[in-house]
A and B are shown apart, each in its own frame.
Chain A
Amino acid sequence: MVTNILYILLTALRDRLFIVLICAVVFATLISGALAGTSLVESREMTLAFSAATSRLILVLGMTVFIAFHLRYAFDNREIEVMLSRPFSRPQLVFSYWLGFSLISLFMGSVAIVVIYIASPIDMLGFASWSISLIMELWFVSAIAIFTSLMLNSAVASVLTTLAIYLLSRMMGYFLNMLGMRSLFDEPWLNVVSHEIIEKLSIIVPRLDFFAKSEWLIYGISNPWQEIMLFSTQAVIYIPILILVAIVDFYNREF
């Protein structure tokens, strides 16, 4: 397992993932600062909000693409078959992949955290909460990407599916909000059906809108323990679900 983890880190180094993502995050923050400098007031707040949001997106995209193509490459070159030919079970393989990618996420997330720290967050408790939730969000995305990459036969499909799940998870809170507000369609039966679908979907779609809120960096976190419990609990429940589903699906795969 350790060998696989080290191999993943080496691949990341070989693909210059660290350099590229670090440069992207730093560049995004510099651009955010430049744009925020044109603001009438509150340029520091604007820098923080832009930088936090773009860094998060860059890291999510970067990790998704890296994981999808890494696993596709491993399948195409039969590396996975070689690994499975050794005394290395399928669950161990899946878990080692998640650990390896999570280590990379931890490192990249830490870089983003340092960059945001240099941009001077206004509230330190909010900054700490944002930092922890960013790391957890990246672990989450890694798990989603592993699941889709093991399930699908195309790297592009894996990337698109991961991003679709990510976006849906980010927006789920608002879909639930809209349910209670007003009818979406003119036809009553369509409203009933759509309400049911969204409600049932919300059971299985994770709530990524609990994670990494930029407002924490600026205004602090209003109910610290509640917010922290929300994202921590979601991560602790759902990451194992994703890994377990990936393991179950991987058992069905024939080589």
Chain B
Amino acid sequence: MTTHNRRYYIQILLVFVGIQVLFWFNTNDIRPRMTVVPNVPGEEAISVLSFGDKQALFRLMAFQLGNAGDSFGRSTALKKYDLNKVKLWFFLLDKLDRESNLLPSMAAYYFAQTQNKPDARHMVEYLYEHAKDRPEKKWWWLTQASYIALYKVGDSELALKIAGMLRDVEGIPLWARQLSAFVYEGRGEFDAALKIMETILENTDDIPQHELNFMQHFVEERINRLDSLSKKARKRLGIRGLQ
């Protein structure tokens, strides 16, 4: 290449570099729109994207959801999350893996802590749907759902409906079975609370002594219904007669 030709191409290059600089001035403020919670894809799209490895996709999507809104140096307040979308994401990802406790943990311990308390209802709905058909295995999430419904959302009816599912479930801690009694107590419905305790006392074998002591304390001192306790329940507590 002769010197003349080389200079010619350098000049053209400089013109294009100048155009690029002008282009930059006009476009450097154009930024990608960062959503907080991404839109929920369809079930089929998710199935296809898994490439035969549903577990890996589940973990990847859950990881992305857990970090949603906090990527690229951002830190987003929970009140700005569309928790209805998060709930739909959870329903979708449950189709990939229903056994994992990752999503219920995120729902109960993270997203439900939103500053916008009514929004926590979406997390209650998810936890309920996730656990309702296997309470003996997922009872913990039902207790979480009931707690959030009562203390965050302020819906004691909903809390009661969820807690009531645990009353007759075998093999779970007694306090979980008694949960609806505590909700009734909070509502001032002591007779209903008594009924729960009576049912548990009458139909459960092998109640440890400390649990019996607690139930007696609850009936006697918290709801003041020892007089109304059934004979069978009193016998179970070892109470001989009224004093």
Contact = CB atoms under 8 A, between A and B. Distances in A.
Contact of A49 (B51, B58, B105, B106): B58
Interface residues of A, number: 33
A65 B48 CA distance: 25
A181 B63 contact: no
Interface residues of B, number: 26
A174 B48 contact: yes
Contacts of B53: 52-53, 56, 170, 209, 212-214
Interface stretch (B95-103, B179-187, B210-218, B226-234): B95-103
Contacts of B99: 219
Contacts of B97: 215
B72 to A, nearest CB: 15
B47 interface: yes
A131 B28 CA distance: 49
A40 interface: yes
Nearest to B67: A38
Contact of A171 (B51, B66, B106): B51
A40 B105 contact: yes
B59 interface: yes
B116 interface: no
Nearest to B101: A41
B55 interface: yes
B47 A174 contact: yes
A181 B52 contact: no
A42 B101 contact: yes
Residue among A49, A209, A211 having the largest count of chain B Cβ atoms under 10 Å: A49
21 contacts: A39-B62, A39-B63, A40-B102, A40-B106, A41-B101, A42-B100, A45-B102, A46-B63, A49-B55, A49-B60, A50-B56, A170-B51, A171-B48, A171-B51, A173-B52, A175-B48, A177-B47, A208-B52, A209-B53, A214-B55, A214-B59
